[in-house]
Amino acid sequence: MLGASVKEEVNQTEEPRRRRRFVLLSRLKQNKVAYISLWFLVLVHAVVFIGPLLWPYSPEELTGTGALANWSLQHPFGTDDLGRDVFARMLHGGRVTLLVGLCAMLFSLIIGTIIGACAGFFGKVVESVLMRITEAMMAIPNFFFVLVALTVLGTTPFMVVLVIALTGWVEIARVVYGETLRWKEYEFVEAANAAGATAKRILMKYVIPQILPSIIVSGTLAIAWAILTESAISYLGLGIQPPTPTWGNMLQNSQQYIWTAPILGVLPGVAITIVVLAYNFLGDGLRDALDPRFAKK
């Protein structure tokens, strides 16, 4: 049941790539929540990447309005504990947060795809070594490692992204590994192999494109995970450091004002939650759309 529908698509060699992607989008449209999430995320990204260019205040400058001011026309979200414009900080913070999520996801994808694809494609020793490493990474409660690594190595943005990525690739590697195993059995891959194409070429040209949709799904969920992890390490003071705002460190900083200005915590908290929620819905929607059983429903 599982193989049949897929095989049909694949046997038309050049066709399936475009078709699968097209099918994915049209199926996604049927899932309202996921579809709305997609457009919501496009909107959020547009706002945090373009908004700061239009907004007159920088996130670090002291506005002169004073600290913890209430909302007003100049400062729609008021000012923070040091007298900076919270709206500007939310915009810039969102930009940094989403960038951290995207970069960490990309790193994870690259590592996970290489490891998963190599393990699945080459088999034998390569497979057992790479998969043992993957299993080992799964077995370690990685937050302990993240905590120690960031404490001693410092919390530069690069380190934060790297450490998040280093603990986030495992899931992706497993998905890619499984898919590679499946796809390398197909005739067009075997044909290419017989024709003497290099392993790199086969992987890049024939295998990876086929599993791209699964990678996209994993990537979407990986962003959600990376954003949450950044906020969690910020809680321990190990995320990206002030004065650069992120939603995570704004949330962490707001804890002190939990009594006097709870709004400072509510804003970034809600922002993180809905963005992660949207990514999760989108990821779930994409996964459902990919599921061959979907067609039956």
Partner 1 sequence: MFRFILNRFGQSIILMFIVTVITFFLINLAPGGPTGVMRMDASPEERQAIVERLGLDEPVLVRYVQWVGNAVQGDLGTSFNSSEAVVDRIADRLPYTIELTVFTIIFSVIAGIILGVISALKRGKAADHVINFSSVIGLSVPSFWLGLMLILLFSVELGWLPSSGVGPRGADFDFAGWASHLAMPVLILSTTVLPNIVRFTRSSMLEVLSQNYIRTARSKGAKEFIVLYVHSLRNALIPIISIIGVLIPRLLSGAVITEAIFGWTGIGTLIIEAANGRDYPLIMGITVVITLVVIVSNLLVDIIYSQVDPRVKNMA
Partner 2 sequence: MIKKWWLLLTVTFIALFLAACSYGGDEEADGAESGSDSSSGEAATGGSVSIPIVADPTFNPWHPNAYAESNVINRVIFDGLTKPGKDLIPSPDLAESWETSEDGLTWTFNLRDDVTWHDGEAFTADDVAFTFNEITLNEELGANSASYFGQVENVEVVDEHTVQFNLSSPVAALPAYLSFNTEIIPEHIFQGEDPWNLTSFNKENPVGTGPFKVKSYTSGQSVVLERYDDYFGDTAKLDEVEYKILPDANTHVAQLLSGELSIFALDDTSAVERIESAEGVDVNGRDTNRFFWLIVNQQQERFQDVKVRQAMEYALDRQNIIDTVLQGYGTIANAGITPALSEYYTDDVKQYEFDPEQAKTLLAEAGWEDTDGDGFVDKDGENFEIVFDIGIQGDLEAIAQLVQQYLIDVGIDVQLNTMDWNTMIDKVVIQRDYAMTLNWWRYPPDPDLKAYMHSDFADQGNNIPAYRSEEMDRLLDAGAETSDVEERKEIYDEAQKLMAEELPYMFLWYPQEVQVKRSNISGVPELAFGDTLHYIQEWYMEN
What is the token pair recorded at 76? 């729609």
Q: How far is the CB of 23 from partner 1 (least distance, A)?
A: 22
Amino acid at 179: E
Among positions 205-264, residues that touch partner 1 (CB under 8 A) are 224, 228, 231-232, 235-236, 248, 251, 255, 258, 262
Instruction: Please identify which residue in 42, 140, 191, 258 interacts with partner 2, judged by CB under 8 A.
Output: 258
Amino acid at 44: V
Q: How far is the CB of 109 from partner 1 (least distance, A)?
A: 20
Give the contacts of 166 (CB within 8 A, at least 6 positions apart).
107, 111
Q: Using the rule CB under 8 A, is 262 a contact of partner 2?
A: no
CA nearest neighbour of 287 among 231, 215, 226:
215
Which partner, partner 2, partner 1, none, binds residue 145 by CB below 5 to 8 Å per kind?
A: partner 1
Question: Within 10 Å of residue 91's Cβ, how many Cβ atoms?
Answer: 22
What is the token pair recorded at 242? 């002030």
What is the token pair recorded at 19? 């078709």
Binding string, residues 139-168; x marks residues near partner 1 by CB under 8 A: xxxxxxx-xxx-xxxx--------------
Question: Within 10 Å of residue 120's Cβ, how many Cβ atoms?
Answer: 25
* Tokens 């449209």 -> residue: 29
**C-beta closer to partner 1: residue 52 or 269:** 269
Instruction: Please identify which residue in 73, 194, 259, 297 interacts with partner 2, judged by CB under 8 A.
Output: 259
Site residues (vs partner 2, CB under 8 A): 60-62, 66-67, 81-83, 151-152, 154-155, 237, 241-243, 255-260
